[in-house]
Structure 1
Amino acid sequence: MTLVPRLFAFETRTGRVITDLPYEGTPKWEAGVTAIGKVEVSIPIDQVGKKELRALIDPWRISLGFARGQQILQAGPIIPAAFSDAPGAATLRVACAGLWRIFYSRHLLNAAWDGVNPAAVSADVNIGPVSLHTIAKRVVSLHLARAQHDLPIDFPADIAGSHNRAYPGYDLASVGERLAELTQVQGGPEIEFRPVWTDTVQRSTVRWTMRIGAPSSDPLRDGRLGRLDYPHAWDYGQALVQLDEDIDGSRQTHHRIERGNGMERALLVGVASDTQYPAAGWPYLEDVGGTHTSATDTATLGSWAAGAISTYRVPTVTWSAVVRMDGTDGQGRATGAPDLGEVEVGNNAMFGVSGHRWIPDGHYPARIVGIKSEGADTARLVLAPLQGAA
């Protein structure tokens, strides 16, 4: 069954759909684990009307969403829009970011703060003891309690834990920055703001679900989003149209120093290392992280350093797979592959490969860490391979 795509405009703060819009070509969209996401589209002016369209192009207040049936592929606020008066078709190019982008334009300050001096104690936000999952939740939910900061977001239930975070108002850090920091510590949660319909029949209202990876005693599941039981499978040459591989050692490191607050002899740092690869013959590689220079807790700095070592002690290998969105072989025949509407970022999947020009034959497990537009009937899955061929 062909699912009709839909571009629509809605109010960012309420989620109320205003109208559907025409578009040219294939809109570009992206969604992913701990990623901002985007929607980019060209709108033909002569099919809408100049007056009506100008009223809708109101950055931040108005959002655009792109949907396929019941699934909203991505949605978020308009930020830039551009029209060129050069000869040719009259089109307006509009770019939207996922909801996470708003949080980089909002300070993390206490709802009880009087709005005058952020150095006041009343501006501080203190969270814990709870899990890192719930710290991430409260970083967002507590700031929504500030006047006129409301957004249509649904949150998961709290999860107990022993973690604490103190966020002084005088740091003037953004909500987005604090969320990103939480995802970078060892065991930190993966996060996605997923747009969904509140009414699957009328499809007239949008909300975002804040998906947060839950803690687990299993290090392979700790903080991870999605189903890890391999609910999906694609086979090369059928619903799997193309499979690419990138190998990048530019950030590989075996010793990480994370810079914190202070200077010279008073500099605070966190340190982590993993010497198993140098011991096996790799050149010893070191680096320094400098994005947390306001941090004063050495344990947290050490956790960031350990998180970097965990991620970059080996080269980063990523695959990307072009798949048919309806799961068929291109001739309408079922292949056992899922429709894209069944797929969530974070899920594990199995990829059967035979006759590929570069990748050896086998069945390869991988996590789907991102999904983006490719063609009118295809999407590109961004993959993190999990191990060798089975």
Structure 2
Amino acid sequence: MLRELEFTELSWSTAVCRADEITVTVPGYVAGAEGLRGLAVPRRTAVSVVRDDGVCLAAGVTGQPVASESDDGTPRLELTARGIESVFEKRVILPPGYGDLVDANGYPDPRYDTRISGVDYGTMMQRLYRQAVAHPGGGLPLAWEEPRAGIRSNAWVAVDGKRVQEAVEDLSELADGVEWDWVPRVDEADRLSWALITGTAAQPEISSAIGHYWVAGGAAPAVRKLREKTNPEFLASAAFFLGGKNDDRVLISQRTDPSLLDEGFPLAEVWDTSHSTTSDQAALNGWADAALRDAEAPVQFWTFDVRADRAHGLRHGDWCVIEVSDHWWIPDGAYQRRIVEVSGGVESAWLGVTVSGMQEW
């Protein structure tokens, strides 16, 4: 069922390896007239933001609707939605038709474990998703890219209860992992669906062939409200990633890098216990290596608005060059940055952009 809704407030954002996010406020008189009480049921309804030309900017599954009144007593309904990943956050890695996960003696039944091999990481992600939607009642309007052969293999034990989306994120965070992206689409019959795109071994990052060049400063800037934030949260000189435990034996990956100490930073360590079900030493090593690679320098995030008519085809993951001049804080120059988030709202003439890059000194 499709409903086009009048709204008073709107915000949406998409980002690299993250579910779309939407918040929309519908006037009370519209919500009542459209019968939204029965429609805006959490996790049963989808919300999409679609441009006049039919391009779907963001889409997601509804969260908790909030019916309230503003300070002047005007009734309103606030709807939130998160991308299709939010569904897979609730799904456990289990094969269709599974039975009792343990036998009569209390031992796990290995028939219900999930093993994937002979593919690349992107296709491994696809296999996890496709297994989830193959369950009775698990179907979703999804489209798939062609599977790819590869050398990767992995296994998930049924009784560990690993969530599908968590496993996908684990794969993406490996040192040689790849990105994923669920791209929402609305067809000519106004039907909403999502298409999965994944990175490859040769091109782990997902970005389009479109390059963007914007000027910040000068007489006719394409960029406004340029803001810089430097995040030191991930700085570390040592990383400890813990895996599973068995008979007082602990699986651990331990890595050190003195580069930050040489630059005058105080000692800091990363201690990660989020992979307690992992029995793969190579995977732990990959996560620890990636953590230290991300910790080599503070990450700079720039946020700004860009003119929508200067950002045709803009998507998170793309690369851009920002020409900065006469900024009170950022030195003049041309900066290449990757777009990690795109956002928008009621004011359709401008789009919000967040880019990232390592600080240099």
Could you state the TM-score of these two structures normalised by the residue count of structure 1? 0.84
Q: Which residue of 2 aligns with 1:219?
A: none
1:223 matched to 2:204? The reply is yes
Q: Which residue of 2 aligns with 1:313?
A: 296
The correspondence of residues 16-165 of structure 1 with structure 2, limited to 5 A, is 17-25=1-9, 27-50=10-33, 52-68=35-51, 69-85=53-69, 88-114=73-99, 116-117=100-101, 119-165=108-154
For 2:341, which of 331, 350, 370 is the aligned residue? 370
Paired residue type of 1:384: S
Change (3 A) 1:82 1:230: closer
| CA contact 2:214–2:222 (8 Å) conserved in 1 | yes
Q: Give 1:387 deviation, angstroms.
A: 7.8
Q: Which residue of 1 aligns with 2:105?
A: none
How many residues are aligned here? 350
Q: Which residue of 2 aligns with 1:3?
A: none
Q: Give 1:264 deviation, angstroms.
A: 9.0
Secondary structure at 1:20 match in 2: coil
Change (3 A) 1:264 1:247: farther
Deviation digits for residues 107-155 of structure 1 (CA, Å, limit 9, x no counterpart)? 11112413x4374323211111221111111111122111111111112
Q: Which residue of 1 aligns with 2:223?
A: 240
The correspondence of residues 233-312 of structure 1 with structure 2, limited to 5 A, is 233-237=213-217, 238-262=221-245, 265-312=248-295
| CA contact 1:226–1:347 (8 Å) conserved in 2 | yes
Q: Which moved more, 1:367-376 or 1:38-47?
A: 367-376
Paired residue type of 1:351: I
Secondary structure at 1:49 match in 2: helix
Q: Give 1:171 deviation, angstroms.
A: 0.7
Q: For 1:264 and 1:123, locate their aligned partners in 2 and report how far apart those are by CA, in whole Å.
A: 24
Q: Which residue of 2 aligns with 1:384?
A: 356
For 1:212, which of 184, 188, 198 is the aligned residue? 198
Q: Give 1:195 deviation, angstroms.
A: 0.5
Q: Give 1:189 deviation, angstroms.
A: 1.1
Q: For 2:193 and 2:89, locate their aligned partners in 1 and report how far apart those are by CA, in whole Å.
A: 19
Change (3 A) 1:259 1:251: same
Change (3 A) 1:51 1:157: closer
Q: Give 1:84 deviation, angstroms.
A: 1.7
Q: For 1:387 and 1:366, locate their aligned partners in 2 and report how far apart those are by CA, in whole Å.
A: 11
Could you state the TM-score of these two structures normalised by the residue count of structure 2? 0.90
Q: For 1:128 and 1:104, locate their aligned partners in 2 and report how far apart those are by CA, in whole Å.
A: 23
Q: Give 1:279 deviation, angstroms.
A: 3.9
Secondary structure at 2:63 match in 1: strand
For 1:186, which of 163, 175, 197 is the aligned residue? 175
Cα RMSD for the two superposed structures: 2.2
Secondary structure at 1:37 match in 2: strand
Q: Give 1:198 deviation, angstroms.
A: 2.8
Secondary structure at 1:28 match in 2: strand
| CA contact 1:253–1:314 (8 Å) conserved in 2 | no
Q: Which moved more, 1:166-175 or 1:116-125?
A: 116-125
| CA contact 1:369–1:382 (8 Å) conserved in 2 | yes
Q: Give 1:326 deviation, angstroms.
A: 2.2
Gaps of 5+ in 1: 1-16, 217-221, 328-337
Q: For 1:387 and 1:364, locate their aligned partners in 2 and report how far apart those are by CA, in whole Å.
A: 12
| CA contact 1:367–1:386 (8 Å) conserved in 2 | no
Q: Give 1:182 deviation, angstroms.
A: 1.0
Change (3 A) 1:139 1:226: same
| CA contact 1:29–1:38 (8 Å) conserved in 2 | yes
1:351 matched to 2:322? The reply is yes
Secondary structure at 2:261 match in 1: helix
Change (3 A) 1:386 1:313: closer
Gaps of 5+ in 2: 103-107
Q: For 2:173 and 2:228, locate their aligned partners in 1 and report how far apart those are by CA, in whole Å.
A: 24
Q: For 1:319 and 1:139, locate their aligned partners in 2 and report how far apart those are by CA, in whole Å.
A: 34
Change (3 A) 1:387 1:288: closer
Change (3 A) 1:32 1:85: closer
Q: For 1:243 and 1:29, locate their aligned partners in 2 and report how far apart those are by CA, in whole Å.
A: 19
Q: Give 1:324 deviation, angstroms.
A: 1.8
Q: For 1:207 and 1:213, locate their aligned partners in 2 and report how far apart those are by CA, in whole Å.
A: 20
Q: For 1:226 and 1:85, locate their aligned partners in 2 and report how far apart those are by CA, in whole Å.
A: 42
| CA contact 1:70–1:197 (8 Å) conserved in 2 | yes
| CA contact 1:256–1:272 (8 Å) conserved in 2 | yes
Q: Give 1:303 deviation, angstroms.
A: 0.9
Change (3 A) 1:387 1:234: farther
Deviation digits for residues 286-326 of structure 1 (CA, Å, limit 9, x no counterpart)? 22111001111111111111111111222122111211222
Paired residue type of 2:236: T
| CA contact 2:234–2:294 (8 Å) conserved in 1 | no
